[in-house]
Structure 1
Amino acid sequence: VKIPKNFVCEHCFGAFRSSYHLKRHILIHTGEKPFECDICDMRFIQKYHLERHKRVHSGEQPYQCERCHQCFSRTDRLLRHKRMC
C-alpha cells in the first residue's frame, strides 16, 4: 500500500508523505540551519547531522568492522570500508 504524498514544496514541487518531512525539506531552500555545534559553531539542518558531527570532536567511533575490527565514526564509512575489506 502506497502512502500518498500530499505535502508539496512550493519552491520545487517535491512531494512528501508528512508535514514533518516537508518542513525539514524546506530548510534546504531557506538556508536555515537550526542545529549548532557548541564547540566549533558549525550548523546543520538536521539534529542527526549535528550528533554525527560531534563525534569529530569526541573521537567516538561506535561502528566496528566484524572482519578486521577497524572502527568508524559513521555508518556510511563503515559500509564503504566493508565493500573493500
Structure 2
Amino acid sequence: HTGEKPFKCDVCDAVSTTAGNLQVHKRIHTGEKPFKCILCCSMFTSASNLKVHQKKHTGEKPYSCDVCGAIFTTAGHLKVHKR
C-alpha cells in the first residue's frame, strides 16, 4: 500500500513491488516462456497471460461495458475501452 517498489531489474530500469513480479518481468530479457497452452501450444511468460489467451479458445468474455454493452476478455481491455 506504500507504493514502494524495492525489486529492481538488473538489466533495465524496471522496478516491482514483489520478487515474483520481477521474476516474470525478467523473462522479457531471457525469452523464457514456461506456460504452454494445451490447445495450440502457444507459450507465455506468466500464468495470467496464459489464462487470458485461453479465453480466445473458449470465447469467454466476462467483462462488459455498462454504457454500450461491448464485451471483453479482460478487465484491462474494458478499462481501455472506457477511456
Give the TM-score band, short-chain normalised.
Answer: 0.7 to 0.9
Structure-2 residue corresponding to 1:39: 39
Distance 1:2 1:71 in 2: 31
Question: Closer, same or farther in 2 for the Cα pair 1:77/1:9, shift >3 Å?
Answer: closer
Aligned pairs for 1:25-36 (under 5 A) are: 25-36=25-36
Deviations 1:54-83 (A, max 9, x none): 110000010011122222112232223323
Which string of whole-angstrom CA distances, capped at 9 and with x for unpartnered residues, describes residues 28-65 of structure 1?
11100011111111111111110011110000010011
1:3 aligned partner: 4
TM-score (norm 1): 0.75
| Aligned position for 2:22 | 22
Count of aligned pairs between the two proteins: 82
Residue in 2 aligned with 1:48?
48
d(CA) in 2 for partners of 1:16, 1:77: 22
Cα root mean square deviation, aligned: 2.1
Paired-residue identity, %: 37
Q: Distance in 2 between matches of 1:4 and 1:61?
A: 32
CA distance in 1, matches of 2:82, 2:40: 31
Answer yes or no: is the 8 Å Cα contact 2:27–2:33 preserved in 1. Answer: yes
What is the letter of the counterpart of residue 29 of structure 2? Answer: H
